[in-house]
C-alpha cells in the first residue's frame, strides 16, 4: 500500500528491491556461533549502532596492520594506563603494528608506575576525597594512584636525569627513549609501553610534556641543579615536532589509531597542514602527505565542540586525511576505550595470528631450508 501525507506526496513512489540495489543485509547476532573475540566482533559488525562501529573499526585496523607500506601512529589520551590497558598498547608495539606513539604525559607517568612493578588500586566510594588526600591516595575516577608510586617514579627519573649531559637538549622522544632503556636494563621482568617502544625502536612523543608528573620531575631536577650550581637542562618541544615530521615524511602511507582526543590527536594530525604551510609559505618542495587510515575510539559527541568529538570528515577539510573517494579508510567508535580497545585489538590480533598460522606448509619448509643454508 502507498501512503501519502494528504497532499498526494508519495503516491507515485517506486519501491526499490534492496537485493537489486545491492544493499548489505544485517544479521542477528547468534552467540551460539561465537567462539572467539574475532567471531564476536565480526558478528557485531553485521548488526547496528556501536556494535557495527566496532566491527568496522576492526576492519580498518586490520587493513592498516596488513599494509606493509603503512606507518601507524597511535595517539593516547585519558587514563588508559591507570585503567590497565597498557599491555594492549605494548602488544601493538611488540607486534610491529604501531610504529610511533603520541601521548599525554600523565598516561606515560602512570604507565611507568606499572612498568616498575607497582600497582593501582580500586577506589572505595565510601571514603571521601579529603580523607584520600590525607592518606596519600590520588583518585582517577574509580581508581587510586598512591602518591608513594609517584615518589618512586621520581627516583627513576632522577637517576636518568642526573646522568644527562646538560649540553644535550632534552625533548620528550629522547627522554622516553632513555626511560625505556632504563626499564629494559633494570625491570627485565616487567612489560611496559616505554620498554616495548625502546626495544622496537618506536619513538614516543609527549607534546604537552610539562602537563604531567614526568614534566614536574624534570622541573624539580632543574631546580636542584640550579641550587647546587650546575647547568640546568634545556627542554625544546620543537625537536619533537621536527623529528615527528621528518619521520612521517619518509613514509609511503600513514595510519592513525586514536584513543580519546586532546593534544595527542591534534598534534599528530597537524602533520599534513605543517607540510602544506612549509610548502605554501616557505616555498619548500615537499610532498603533501595525509593520513590514509584512521581508527578512533572516543565517547565524546561532536556537539560539545571539542576536538575529541570531531569526526574525521571535518579533518579532511584541513588537509589532514585522504578523503574516502580517494581511498581513505576510517572507523570511528563512540565508546569507552576500556571496552572498545580490547575488543578491536583482540579481534585483529586473532585475524593476524590465523593468517600467520595458515601459511602453506611448503612455504614454511622453504623458509626453514633457507635458515639452514644461512647457518652453513
239-273 confidence digits (pLDDT tens): 999 999 999 999 999 999 999 999 999 999 999 99
Examine residue 10 and state whether it is found in any structural domain, yes or no: no
Examine residue 80 and state whether it is found in any structural domain, yes or no: yes
Mean pLDDT lowest among 88-92, 107-111, 310-314, 342-346: 310-314
Examine residue 16 and state whether it is found in any structural domain, yes or no: no
> What confidence score (pLDDT) does residue 368 get?
38
Whole-model pTM: value is 0.91
- The residue among 28, 94, 22 whose CA lies nearest residue 345 is 94
Examine residue 130 and state whether it is found in any structural domain, yes or no: no
Examine residue 197 and state whether it is found in any structural domain, yes or no: yes
The residue that leads in pLDDT, 131 or 13, is: 131
Tell me, what CATH number does 211's domain have?
3.40.910.10
Examine residue 127 and state whether it is found in any structural domain, yes or no: no
pLDDT digits 0-9 by tens, 97-156? 999 999 999 999 999 999 999 999 999 999 999 999 999 999 999 999 999 999 999 999
Residue 28's pLDDT band (boundaries 50, 70, 90)? very high
Mean pLDDT lowest among 6-10, 55-59, 66-70, 288-292: 6-10
Domain that holds residue 292: 52-117+144-348
Mean pLDDT lowest among 11-20, 193-202, 233-242: 11-20
Can you tell me the distance from the alpha carbon of 288 to that of 93, in angstroms, rounded to the nearest whole number?
27
pLDDT digits 0-9 by tens, 333-360? 999 999 999 999 999 999 999 776 665 5
Contacts of residue 144, Cβ cutoff 8 Å, sequence gap at least 6: 120, 121, 122, 123, 132, 137, 138
Contacts of residue 101, Cβ cutoff 8 Å, sequence gap at least 6: 73, 74, 75, 76, 89, 93, 193, 197, 202, 203, 204, 205
The residue that leads in pLDDT, 11 or 333, is: 333
Q: Count the domains in the chain.
A: 1
**Is the pLDDT confidence value at 295 over 50?**
yes
Examine residue 331 and state whether it is found in any structural domain, yes or no: yes
Examine residue 164 and state whether it is found in any structural domain, yes or no: yes
Instruction: Please list the alpha-helical segments (H only) found in 254-336.
Output: 262-269, 271-282, 312-316
Task: Find the mean pLDDT for residues 215-225.
Answer: 96
Amino acid at each position: 500500500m502507498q501512503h501519502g501525507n494528504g497532499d498526494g506526496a508519495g503516491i507515485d513512489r517506486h519501491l526499490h528491491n534492496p537485493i537489486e540495489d545491492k544493499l548489505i543485509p544485517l544479521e542477528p547476532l547468534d552467540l551460539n556461533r561465537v567462539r572467539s573475540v574475532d567471531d564476536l566482533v565480526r558478528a557485531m559488525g553485521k548488526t547496528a549502532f556501536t556494535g557495527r562501529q566496532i566491527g568496522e573499526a576492526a576492519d580498518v585496523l586490520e587493513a592498516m596492520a596488513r599494509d606493509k607500506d603503512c606507518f601507524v601512529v597511535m595517539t593516547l589520551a585519558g587514563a588508559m594506563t591507570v585503567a590497565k590497558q597498557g599491555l594492549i598498547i605494548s602488544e601493538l608495539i611488540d607486534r610491529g603494528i604501531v610504529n610511533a606513539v603520541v601521548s599525554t604525559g600523565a598516561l606515560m607517568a602512570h604507565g611507568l608506575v606499572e612498568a616498575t612493578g607497582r600497582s593501582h588500586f580500586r577506589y572505595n566510594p565510601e571514603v571521601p576525597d579529603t580523607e584520600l588526600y590525607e592518606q596519600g591516595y590520588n583518585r582517577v575516577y574509580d581508581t587510586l594512584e598512591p602518591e608513594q608510586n609517584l615518589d618512586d617514579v621520581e627516583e627513576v627519573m632522577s637517576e636518568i636525569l642526573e646522568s644527562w649531559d646538560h649540553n644535550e637538549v632534552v625533548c620528550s622522544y629522547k627522554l622516553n627513549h632513555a626511560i625505556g632503556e632504563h626499564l629494559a636494563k633494570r625491570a627485565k621482568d616487567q612489560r611496559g609501553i616505554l620498554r616495548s617502544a625502546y626495544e622496537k625502536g618506536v619513538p614516543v612523543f609527549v607534546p604537552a610534556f610539562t602537563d604531567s608528573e614526568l614534566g614536574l620531575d624534570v622541573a624539580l631536577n632543574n631546580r636542584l641543579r640550579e641550587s647546587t650550581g650546575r647547568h640546568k637542562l634545556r627542554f625544546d618541544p620543537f625537536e619533537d615536532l621536527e623529528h615527528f615530521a621528518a619521520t612521517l615524511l619518509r613514509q609511503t602511507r600513514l595510519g592513525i589509531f586514536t584513543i580519546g582526543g586532546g593534544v595527542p590527536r591534534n598534534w599528530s594530525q597537524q602533520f599534513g597542514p605543517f607540510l602544506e604551510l612549509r610548502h605554501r609559505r616557505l616555498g619548500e618542495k615537499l610532498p603533501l602527505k595525509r593520513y590514509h587510515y584512521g581508527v578512533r575510539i572516543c565517547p565524546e559527541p561532536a556537539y560539545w565542540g571539542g576536538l575529541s568529538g570531531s569526526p574525521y570528515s571535518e579533518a579532511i577539510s584541513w588537509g589532514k586525511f585522504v578523503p574516502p573517494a580517494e581511498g581513505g579508510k576510517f572507523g570511528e567508535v563512540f565508546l569507552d576505550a576500556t571496552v572498545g580497545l580490547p575488543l578491536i585489538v583482540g579481534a585483529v590480533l586473532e585475524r593476524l595470528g590465523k593468517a600467520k598460522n595458515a601459511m602453506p606448509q611448503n612455504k614454511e619448509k622453504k623458509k626453514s631450508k633457507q635458515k639452514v643454508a644461512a647457518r652453513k
